[in-house]
Amino acid sequence: MITLRRAQDRGQADHGWLKSAHSFSFADYHDPKHMGWGNLRVLNDDRIDAGTGFGHHGHRDMEIISYVLSGALAHQDSMGNQTTIPPGDVQRMSAGTGVMHSEFNHAKDQPTHFLQIWILPSTAGIPPSYDQKTFAESEKRGQLRLVASPNGAQGSVSVHADARLYAGLFDGTEGAELALSSGCKGYVFLARGQLQVNGHHLSAGDALLLDQEPLVKVSAGVDAEVLVFDLSAHAT
């Protein structure tokens, strides 16, 4: 079964310095029909104004992935990490028993556009940890590149969850197919551009929720950047 959810159907939040579109219930946006998909709990499409950001705040028992689309995101946390996340990098922070962090756009005149992704961990109460890796455009061009997985396969960032995340860039005649794990759920999010996925035409912000579907097939991209999740069918 495939369910199409259009970008305009997401929850919307405008905090002035931050504009966010919520694929699933988050903060003041609550929709009982969209509490998550499998063990994917949050996917926020965030735009942060120049010179602003998220102050020091805490998390527990969550696998948090940041995927920057444009601009850059400065990260600092209670584990001692102080890094910048540019487009092409994938950052994973395992909150575990508890971690404090901040995220900031230090640019003077450019907003930061990034995806904030939360995945429920397989085990609660693990020590907090951090991972960040760079994936060149050539690795994602015309293919679905594994960028996060439970065991860090193929040079991906490791996540403490039964989930795999793929990223791809598609234009013109470029296309790809991806077999999903048996009994799992799939989630396809188009970050930018236009793309044909399993017979559905997607525009930026659109998503497909896949249940008991064996394959993801993408084609006919127009400056498309897409994320594909291979997820546990269960929330934990």
Cβ(38)–Cβ(70) below 8 Å: no
In a domain, 196, yes or no: yes
* pTM for this model (two decimals): 0.94
Question: Cα–chain-centroid distance for residue 230?
Answer: 12
Give the pLDDT band (50/70/90) at residue 51.
confident
Residue 236 has a pLDDT of 52
In a domain, 142, yes or no: yes
Domain count, the chain: 1
* Integer Cα distance of 158 and 135 in angstroms: 14
In a domain, 62, yes or no: yes
* Integer Cα distance of 59 and 74 in angstroms: 17
In a domain, 103, yes or no: yes
Of all residues in the chain, the percent with pLDDT exceeding 70 is 96
Reported as a single tens digit per residue, the pLDDT across 87-146 is: 999 999 898 887 776 786 878 889 999 999 999 999 999 999 989 999 999 999 999 999
In a domain, 236, yes or no: no
Residue 235 has a pLDDT of 67
Reported as a single tens digit per residue, the pLDDT across 166-177 is: 999 999 999 999
Using the predicted structure, report yes or no on whether residue 55 has a pLDDT greater than 70: no
Using the predicted structure, report yes or no on whether residue 47 has a pLDDT greater than 70: yes
CATH code of 129's domain: 2.60.120.10
Domain span at residue 163 reads 2-231
- Measure the N-to-C terminal CA separation of the chain; round to a whole number of Å: 22
Closest to 1 (Cα-Cα) out of 165, 170, 175, 180 = 180
In a domain, 7, yes or no: yes
Counts of helices then strands in the chain (DSSP H, E): 1, 20
In a domain, 206, yes or no: yes
If you search the block for the tokens 């960040």, which residue do you land on? 132
List CB contacts of 33: < 8 A, sequence separation 6 or more: none
- Left (φ > 0), alpha (ψ -120 to 50) or beta: where does 220 sit? left
* Integer Cα distance of 86 and 71 in angstroms: 7
Q: How many residues does the chain have?
A: 236
* Integer Cα distance of 91 and 73 in angstroms: 10
In a domain, 223, yes or no: yes
Reported as a single tens digit per residue, the pLDDT across 13-38 is: 998 988 999 999 998 899 999 999 99
